[in-house]
Amino acid sequence: MNAPRTNLSQIPDRRSLILDGRTWAEISLGALGENFHAIQQHVGAGVTICAVVKADGYGHGAIECALALEAEGVPWLGVTDAAEGRALRGAGIWTRILLMTGIWKGEEDGIVSHNLTPTVWETWHIERLEKAAKKQQVNLPVHLKVDTGMNRLGAKVEGLPRLCEKLAVCEHLHLEGVSTHFASAEVLDAEDAPRQTKRFEQALAKLAEYDLHPPLVHMGNSAAVSARPETWKTMVRPGILLYGYSLPILRGGEIVDGSSLPLVPVLTWKTRVLTVKDVPAGEAVGYASSYVTGKSTRIAVLPVGYADGYPRLLSDRARVIVRGEYAPVVGRVSMDLTTVDVGHIPGIAVGDEVILIGAHNGRSVDAVELARLCESVPYEILCGISQRVPRVYI
């Protein structure tokens, strides 16, 4: 489908939400576009980008990010399922949309009518989609997923003949793509990555035996885009890279310089000082007295907590930026409130802006730092920012 270029005026300007707001996330659509073009330049013009906007655009807002990416000329968008795909179509997005985790029974008619491209690996996927496409008199492209070792989704190589035979008799489906997914592409000396690559090549050879030569062949997730050019094939599926982050590239358990991509974090998470309290030495702060002041200090209370997606695991560990200086989180992060020690920063006042994720005055706190403190990954931090935190698109 030749899609009309999106007009960014379709994205609502919601900056007014923060005028009286306490906590918000600023999403730089300019940075998102820059990251997309940096990835395209990195993999080359001959490799198609499928920009992954699943999970509400990794917490950034799927519709707004998809509209911005469409305006930049991205040819494909990747989502989890038909519900996410329908939401994008309902917002007026024309770009091709790949459903990456298959289909549910009963969704096939809507998938066809909304021009969504499903991933298949079961015979019943093919049967139901063929019936729906025949009913609507369209030729539906599908992508076949191969399980090369993740043991989650996809057909094993030995199961491909049965699927190929099923596809061969379809009059209304055609195989446009074939894909797989890496378990640990970011680990350069991992044994599973070359093993998965070899199995994928075996799968392509098996498809060729049935005269199936899909033009879109894709293995590469964000980690593979960063570190494994041999896996790029004809399409890649960057996700976290689009939003300005990449997993550390490892060899021998050590971080190596695996990516030269000039990425810009898209999201900045901010709040404001709700109140300031002078607290003498020896006083407990917050639940369970997990923090006791060693000297008299000032405590700023922030109107953000784990209900907003600021993890409780950051209690007594994280830091924020206020007035261009770091301030440590002290005491337990609660549902709606977090306390930070600002005794070393003069002039702190109610309403002062505080950065939870972002940078200012040479100081920075990013999702990687918070993830490390939570023994997690930046994906979880970004996706975990709750819906009660307004996203403001700038």
pLDDT for residue 16:
47
Asked which of 256, 291, 323 is the last residue of a domain, the reply is: 256
Check whether residue 227 and residue 319 sit in a common domain: no
CATH of the domain at 124: 3.20.20.10
For 254, list phi and psi in degrees, rounded to 5. -110, 145
In this structure, what CATH number is given to the domain that contains residue 385? 2.40.37.10
289 is written with which tokens?
Answer: 């007295």
In a domain, residue 276? The reply is: yes
Cα(206)–Cα(26) distance, integer angstroms? 48
- DSSP three-state, residue 140: strand
| Candidate list 54, 145, 206, 233, residue with the active-site label | 54
Q: Cβ distance 238 to 222 under 8 Å?
A: yes
Considering the domain boundaries, does residue 261 fall inside one? no
**Final residue belonging to a domain, choices 195, 224, 256:** 256
Q: Which pLDDT belongs to residue 82?
A: 98
Active site residue 54: yes
Residue type (1 letter), 260: S
For the chain, the distance separating the N- and C-terminal CA atoms, rounded to the nearest angstrom, is 29
* Cα–Cα distance for residue pair 51/47, rounded to 1 Å: 12
Question: Strand, helix or coil at 125?
Answer: helix
What three-state secondary structure class fits 322?
A: strand
Q: What is the mean pLDDT of each run of 10 residues along the chain (394 residues)?
A: 55 52 94 98 97 98 98 98 98 98 97 98 98 98 97 96 96 98 88 94 97 97 92 97 89 72 96 98 96 97 98 98 98 98 97 97 96 96 97 95
Same domain, 106 and 219: yes
Whether residue 128 sits in one domain with residue 36: yes
**Domain assignment present for 21:** no
Alpha carbon distance 284, 294 (integer Å) = 10
- Check residue 254 and give its pLDDT: 79
Q: Which of 225, 256, 287 is the last residue of a domain?
A: 256
Return d(Cα 394, Cα 385) in angstroms, integer. 18
Query: What is the extent of the structural domain holding 356?
Result: 267-393
Active-site residue 287, yes or no? yes
For 42, the enclosing helix (H) or strand (E) is helix 29-43
Single out the residue of 99, 212, 124, 205 nearest to residue 164, CA to CA. 212
CA distance 358 to 169: 54
Could you tell me if residue 262 is inside a domain? no
In a domain, 3, yes or no: no
- Region class of 385: left (phi > 0), else alpha (psi between -120 and 50), else beta: beta
328 and 224 co-located in one domain = no
d(Cα 162, Cα 150) in Å, to the nearest integer? 21
Give yes or no: residues 127 and 35 share one domain: yes
DSSP code, position 306: G
Residues 287, 225 share a domain: no
Any idea which residue has 């609507």 for tokens? 136
Closest CA to 178 of 104, 120, 107: 120
Catalytic residue among 131, 156, 210, 287: 287
- Tell me what pLDDT residue 7 has: 61
How many CA atoms does the CB half-sphere of 330 hold within 13 Å? Answer: 21
169 plus 116 within the same structural domain: yes
pLDDT, position 9: 60
Residues 130 and 278 grouped into a single domain: no
Closest by CA to 177, choosing from 242, 244, 236, 224, is 236
Q: How many domains does the chain have?
A: 2
Quick check: is 87 in a domain?
Answer: yes
Domain-embedded: residue 363: yes
Assess whether 234 and 276 both reside in one domain: no
Asked if residue 227 and residue 81 are part of one domain, the reply reads yes
My answer on whether 151 and 285 are in the same domain is: no
Is 349 part of any domain?
A: yes
Q: State the Cα–Cα distance between residues 118 and 56, nearest whole angstrom.
A: 19
144 forms beta bridges with: 120, 178
Q: Are residues 228 and 294 in the same domain?
A: no
Q: What is the DSSP letter of 1?
A: -
